[in-house]
Structure 1
Amino acid sequence: MTRILIVEDNDMNLDMLSRRLKRKGFDILTARDGRAGVDTARAETPDLVLMDMSLPVLDGWQATREIKGDAETAAIPVIALTAHAMDSDRRAAMDAGCDAFHTKPIDLAGLLAQIDELVPG
């Protein structure tokens, strides 16, 4: 079963996305800030990380840099989840090491396609 770490500080977004992905058969881990996201990625080595970019403690850009900069977690695909939809936001996420970019509100079909592309079943 594919394990996905969702790093999201908004309770409603976290609950909604977790429930929807669990119904699709994914095993879900969660973290509510960037530091906890990095720590969970290191401890649990999920198959994929869904990273909100506007997070407390450590923002999603820096959290992604830390995940991608660690040999133990560098290969884990990271999808940026953000309400910031400008091209510059996409570039910043990709420059931080994200493998894909998805804007909020979440289009579940589109997100599932990105997950399938990054974590072949």
Structure 2
Amino acid sequence: MARILIVDDSPTEIHVLKTMLEKHGFETFSAETGEKGVEATVAEKPDLVLMDIVMPGMNGFQATRQISSNDATRDIPVIIVTTKDQETDRVWGLRQGAKDYLTKPVDEKMLIEKINALLAG
């Protein structure tokens, strides 16, 4: 069973994503800040990270860059899940090392398909 880290400062968003993922058999855990997300990724080595962008302190772009540039975590795929729907944000997110970019509200079927495709390699 794949373990997915949800990094988001909104308890509501965490709950929504957790519910979707657990319904499809994924194990989830969460972090409320970019800093805690990076720490949890290093410590727990999840199979995949769902990363919000707009958070206090370290934002999701910065956290994604740290995860994708760290030798210990660079192979863990990050999908950015955010309300920021501008093409420039999407391009920037992918440049930071994210493997995919989805805007909220997330389409459950699309999210699960993207996760499964990344986990399949």
Q: Offset at 1:101?
A: 0.5
- Separation (CA, whole Å) in 2 of partners of 1:3 and 1:56: 25
Q: Offset at 1:17?
A: 1.0
Q: Offset at 1:12?
A: 0.7
The count of corresponding residues between Structure 1 and Structure 2 is 121
- Separation (CA, whole Å) in 2 of partners of 1:55 and 1:97: 18
State the identity %: 40
Corresponding residue for 1:71? 71
Corresponding residue for 2:7? 7
Corresponding residue for 2:103? 103
Q: Offset at 1:31?
A: 0.2
Q: 1:45-69 CA deviation, whole Å, 9 max, x = no partner? A: 0000000011122100000011011
TM-score, normalization by structure 2? 0.97
Letter in 2 for 1:56: P
- Separation (CA, whole Å) in 2 of partners of 1:63 and 1:34: 5
TM-score, normalization by structure 1? 0.97
Q: Which runs of 5+ in 2 are unaligned?
A: none
1:94 aligns with 2:89: no
Q: 1:85-121 CA deviation, whole Å, 9 max, x = no partner? A: 1111110100111000001001010011100110019
**Structure 1 residue runs of 4+, over 6 Å off?**
none
Tell me, what secondary structure is at the counterpart of 2:120? coil
1:41 aligns with 2:41: yes
- Aligned-residue CA RMSD in angstroms? 1.0
Q: 1:13-36 CA deviation, whole Å, 9 max, x = no partner? A: 111111221111101010000000
Tell me, what secondary structure is at the counterpart of 1:119? helix
